[in-house]
Amino acid sequence: MKYLITILSGVLLSTHSIICSADTWLNPKLLSTISDNGKYVVRVSPSTEEKDVALSDSNDGNAEAKWFRFDGDKYRFLNSTELSNPVNPVYVLVSDRGYLVTLDNWHSLGFGNVVSIYTQSGFLIADYKLTDIYDLETVSKFNKSASSIRWRCELASSEFIENHSNILKIFDSLGGLLSFDLFSGDFEYEADVYKNTVNKDRCKL
C-alpha cells in the first residue's frame, strides 16, 4: 500500500499546476486522487473525443472515473462510470467513504457543471452549474478570461473534504465558503469568511 501511495503522489495533478496561465491550457491528462485513509483511489481518464463544454448534452464519450479499493494487500477495481465532464475535470477529490468530487471543466473554468458529487458506486448525487450556486449578480463579480470564470480560490488546499462530517469545503475568490454535504448534495454558503485576511486578496486573480 505504501509503495502504491508513493507512486500516486507523483502523478497527482492539481488545478494550481495544470493551468499555465489564464487562457493557456495543457492537454488533458489522467487525474488520480487517494482518500485520506488510503482506502480508495480514483483515476479519471479524459475523453478521447473533441467536445465543447457549452454544447455537450450527453455523457457519451465523456471523461471516465474508475474506483479502486484497498483490500488487505492491494487495490482492487471496484467500478467505473462516465462523468458529466465532456473533456475532463480540473480537480478531483475522494472521501474516506469513496465519494468522488469533480470540480470544473478542462479548458472552461466556471462553465458547465462546476461541482459534481458521486457515490463509490458511480451514482451521481449532485451536479451544479455556477448559476445553481450563485445568482447572476454574484457571478458577474468573478474575474473572467476568454475561456474561464475564476470562481474558486486558487491557493493550495482551498478545496478539501472534512471526512468526520462528510462535508466538502470550497473557498471562492470572493472570500466566501461553500459547504457541500456529500450524502445529500445540499450546500450552504457563507460570505466574507476571510474578508479581512491577506488570503482574500491573493484569491482575487
Spatial contact of 19 and 28, defined as CB atoms under 8 Å apart: no
Beta carbons within 8 Å of 104's beta carbon, 6+ residues apart: 15, 89, 90, 91, 110, 114, 152
pLDDT computed for residue 6 by the predictor = 38
**pLDDT band, very low/low/confident/very high, at 23 (cuts 50, 70, 90):** low
Q: Which helix (H) or strand (E) holds 4?
A: helix 2-11
Residue 1 pLDDT grade (very low, low, confident, very high; cuts 50, 70, 90): very low
| DSSP letters for 33-99 | EE-TTSSEEEEEEPPSS---TTT----TT--EEEEEEE-SSSEEEEEEEE-S-SS-EEEEEE-TT--
What number of other Cβ atoms are within 10 A of residue 58's Cβ? Answer: 10
For residue 158, what pLDDT is reported? Answer: 81
How would you classify the pairing of strands 19-21 and 24-25? Answer: antiparallel
**pLDDT value at 174 more than 80:** yes
Cβ-contact 85, 102 below 8 angstroms: yes
Distance CA 93, CA 35 (A): 8
89: which 3 cell numbers? 475535470
d(CA 44, CA 165): 25
Residue pLDDT, tens place only, 50-87: 655 544 555 567 999 999 999 989 999 999 999 999 99
pLDDT the model gives residue 205: 36
What average pLDDT score do residues 90-108 get? 95
Question: Span 93-98, mean pLDDT?
Answer: 97
Given a cut of 90, whether residue 187 has pLDDT beyond it is yes
Domain ranges of the chain: 2-203
pLDDT of residue 149: 93
Predicted confidence (pLDDT) at residue 199 exceeds the cutoff of 90: no
- Phi then psi for residue 58, to 5 deg, are -140, 150
Q: What is the pLDDT of residues 175-186, one digit of tens each?
A: 899 999 999 999
Percent over 90 (pLDDT), the chain:
61
Task: Give the global pTM.
Answer: 0.82
- For residue 129, the cross-strand partners are 113
Q: Domain 2-203 carries which CATH code?
A: 2.40.128.630
Paired strand residues for 94 = 100
How far is it, in rounded angstroms, from Cα 173 to Cα 60?
Answer: 32
